[in-house]
């Protein structure tokens, strides 16, 4: 995820150094979200200080998505379901 996020940010005219700074916590949020472990315990979900105008703008426009990846839309149990991708059936795993 990191290289993809970095490239997207750089496409907005953000320097590689700043894109790396922004991409790292976004990558962590995405991985936690897709793994079903989205329980933010840090002090900062995304950088907010010492950003360029474009870096600040990117964060401002996407902060709801980032926060949503960490918080989730609804309360849910983590990592306790098996889904059969062939037929769509699922079962809870104790």
58, burial (CB in 10 Å: exposed 0-12, middle 13-18, buried 19+): buried
Q: What is the pLDDT of residues 17-68, one digit of tens each?
A: 999 999 998 998 888 888 776 777 777 888 889 999 999 999 998 888 888 8
Distance CA 1, CA 37 (A): 16
Distance CA 1, CA 30 (A): 8
Q: Residue 41 is encoded by which pair of tokens?
A: 């315990």
Output 74 or 38, whichever has higher pLDDT.
38
Answer yes or no: are the C-beta atoms of 42 and 34 closer than 8 Å. no
Considering the entire predicted model, what is its pTM? 0.68
């Amino acid at each position: 995820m990191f290289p993809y996020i970095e490239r997207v940010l750089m496409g907005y005219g953000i320097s590689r150094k700043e894109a790396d700074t922004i991409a790292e916590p976004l990558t962590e949020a995405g991985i936690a979200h897709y793994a079903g472990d989205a329980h933010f315990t840090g002090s900062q979900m995304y950088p907010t200080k010492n950003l360029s105008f474009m870096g600040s703008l990117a964060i401002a426009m996407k902060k709801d998505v980032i926060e949503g990846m960490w918080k989730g839309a609804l309360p849910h149990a983590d990592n306790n379901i098996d889904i059969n991708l062939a037929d769509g059936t699922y079962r809870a795993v104790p």
